[in-house]
Structure 1
Amino acid sequence: MNNAVASATVALTADEIIVETALGGARYCLPNFNKTINLAATGAGGMDTGTAPAYGYVALYAIYNPSTGASALLAVNATSAVAPSVYGGANMPTGYTASALVSVWPVDGNGKLVAGAQLDREVWIPEVAILTTSTVASTPTSVSVSTIVPPNARAVRGTMVVNNNTVNGGSNASFVGNAQSVGSIRIGTTAPASGAGAAYSFSGLPILVSQTIYYTLTNVSGSGTLYGFISGYSI
């Protein structure tokens, strides 16, 4: 998927998609899949019911009608809960019995899919700031990323920056996946000038608590500031 600007419609292509009637149920292979979703519509090719959420997320399912051989995309409001691997709602279009989750995408305040791109299970979005703090946190402290990544997000990517306000002052920081410091990504700096620091682009930071990451910030000397940015996630 490649969505150049916020839009209600976007196309998804895949070499093939395996859809199922249920986990472990009847399976069908959909080769050369190329379908478009329209969040302004309802039914096959649109929302399963109702309208797209504002400032939320939609899950996209590939759906299949084995009687006619028809396939389509179906969008589901996935703002408040993890979307299952197979469609679990009560509004599947008539005749469509098999499905597979293929994407979960942010929606803006106008009910449009935000600009971004997806390759396999990796989604890229415009970079968003999540954190600016100078408060020392020697143990992991939580930061909600619920307005940036969906409940289905399993890992995030982005950039962390740490600086120090004292010449030769030193600070260390980390992003971690939970309060037990699992999945630690660390950065440190010794500032050659006041306000100088270091930046590090990271990927694969695990989301072990829904829509939440954790950080630490400590100072060897001087006072440090940690900045965090998110630019994508995996589902």
Structure 2
Amino acid sequence: MPDQISLPGVPAEPALFQPEAVHGRAGQLRGYNLFFALVPLRDDAEHLAQAGAELRRRHGLRGPCLPPQNLHVSLHAVAGYANRIPRSDIEAARAAAARVPWPGSSILFDRASSFNTAGNNPFVLRCDAQSDDAVTRLRDALGDELRRAGLRPKPSRTPHMTLLYDPILVPEHLIEQTGWIAARFTLILSHQGRGHHERLGDWPSPDEESRARDSQK
């Protein structure tokens, strides 16, 4: 049964995607951002959050750390919405992602710094050179497929993981190397103002798919 019925001469309204209802979260919803990212699994995210908390303490930063479940390395911003989210955008993004091979990669961070945004500056972990190359290859391949699907992605040019936001600017410095094995990339709908990341799809590496199948036997 079709989502919409159109009358002769009247364009049909596009079918809309219905975001998750988010209960019990403070903050005013300001809209939605659709983006792709590398997202660590729970144990890895907890470890990275602990490293971020230690760096926060060391540098005397006051901004709250992002929750572990929101830590990620951005690949592409796909689109932003005030409220109405066309289902066609979600379907096109999913179809594009399914065409991108991703062998998986170790993502290692060896530096930390602030990005100067003349305000509440992101304090981030920066990838080493090999991880930068791996993220860039995935980002470029995904960007090509998203554009073929008729979308207009905006790439995240500098691979990084944001830990928190703070007015203090911390210069780039070396840290004890930390990271995780990125075995999948993810499509996320961010509920702006409420700090909620709704995951709309994961695309695992072949090794990760094989491990998942073995665990189900």
TM-score after normalising by structure 2: 0.26
Bigger RCO of structures 1 and 2 (CA < 8 A, at least 6 apart): 2
Higher strand share: 1
User: Radius of gyration: which is bigger?
Assistant: 1
Higher helix share: 2
TM-score after normalising by structure 1: 0.24
